[in-house]
Chains A and B, each alone.
Chain A
Amino acid sequence: MTDTHDVEIIDRILSGDIESYAVLIDRYNDKVFRYMYSRVFNYDEARDMTQDVFMMAYESLALFRRESKFYTWLFSIAVNYCKNYRKRASRYNFIPIQRSGDAEGYEIQIRDERQNVEESVINSDSLDIIKEELHRLPDEYRDILLLRDIEGLSYNEIVRILKINLSNVKVRIHRGRELLKKRLEERGLV
């Protein structure tokens, strides 16, 4: 059920005290940011995405039915946002190439991995490796590990956020942990 304190704040916001929303932002911005960062692995982009999520949550605040905790609802928005974000913008940069000798010319889009190359340089700091390996995980495992092992959400909350059944949540958690453990072992951290 909903965190009473959050509900009180939401009531205040809905009754016109807009400033109170800053309390909710301060309380949950890092959680949402971590989720976004694990997705895009870019500080500025994750920050902008986090801002968008809080804006969307504010605009939909009246629709929050209080059947769950506020941050569960907030994470649902973040998850949906990311799904649509992926559709909107590709993570990759494309370099146009013109074929020589072709009067019309046409563009071949190839993946520019220069940024990724930079980011993939192995860092000695374990946190950097964790960030990198989390980012490398398939979405379905990364999301669930982030929600469960980092943010500490319950299985039921994850069910609610990801809109998948409990057994699916369990399977993904096991597989995600196994894969991550294997990769961290390969990096010599475990």
Chain B
Amino acid sequence: MNNNHIPFNKLSDLCDDAILSASEKQMMIDHIGRCGQCAAEMERLRSMLKLVSRYREVCIADPGFSQAIMRSIKNKNRPSTVGFYSYYRIAAIAAGIVLAIGFLLFNNTHVTDTHIAGNDAVSRSVSDKSVGTDRFRHMASHLERYDALIQNVSNSHIEGLIRLTDYKRLVKDMGPADSLSGAPAHYTSSPGPSMVNFDSESAEDIDFPLENEMVRFRIRY
């Protein structure tokens, strides 16, 4: 204590109960009781601290504050940070698939029309039904090569007329990979044009009585 007065830092410590030892604290309290100057200084300090505590009145005063933060957190946490790009990826893939299908359909229709020029039925059918698969295109090009007359194209079958010999060659050309599995083949010769329902693995098994006879065929594709 300089000049018999308590220095400011000790008065400041006195405001914080836990800082001073009990004996030191008591000594200072005794001094303040006797010294008007130190008592006034202590009073001003306490008054200042009380005033400063008014700063606790400063607050956000916004009941929606926490919710605003929570919204930001959720937006940030949403799978969107990662998923944002995922959604775009999914959309891009979907768009790619749609474009690919569109291109394929357009291409198939176009090719089929070209390959089977003259076969109006199939051209019309293909265009109308938007039938178009690799298998169909492959099949149709072979049928055209053997002068088959395609009369009808459904979503699953091609029907028409073809010479028996050509039909046998056609099946050989297409090979076992292109053979159309399913029920065994059968042949009917009467009445009128015969009908071959070709669903067999092997065309050689079929016994055709009249090689040059026009037969009706139906091929699943």
Chain A residues with a Cβ under 8 A of chain B: 18-19, 21-22, 25-26, 29-30, 33-34, 37-38, 47, 50-51, 54-55, 58, 126-127, 130-131, 134, 145-146, 148-150, 155, 170-171, 173-174, 177-178, 180-181, 184-185, 189-190
Contacts and interface: CB of A to CB of B under 8 A. Distances in A.
Given A22-B66, A25-B65, 4 more contacts: A19-B70, A33-B59, A126-B54, A185-B44
B44 A190 contact: yes
A22 B73 CA distance: 10
- Do most interface residues of chain B lie in helix, strand or loop, or is the interface mixed? helix
B72 interface: yes
B153 to A, nearest CB: 58
Nearest to B9: A174
A120 to B, nearest CB: 18
Contacts of A134: 52, 55
A181 B48 contact: yes
Contact of A55 (B16, B51, B58, B72): B72
A174 B8 CA distance: 7
A149 B70 contact: no
Given A149-B52, A177-B48, A190-B51, A25 B70 contact: yes
Interface in B79-138: none
A130 B49 contact: no
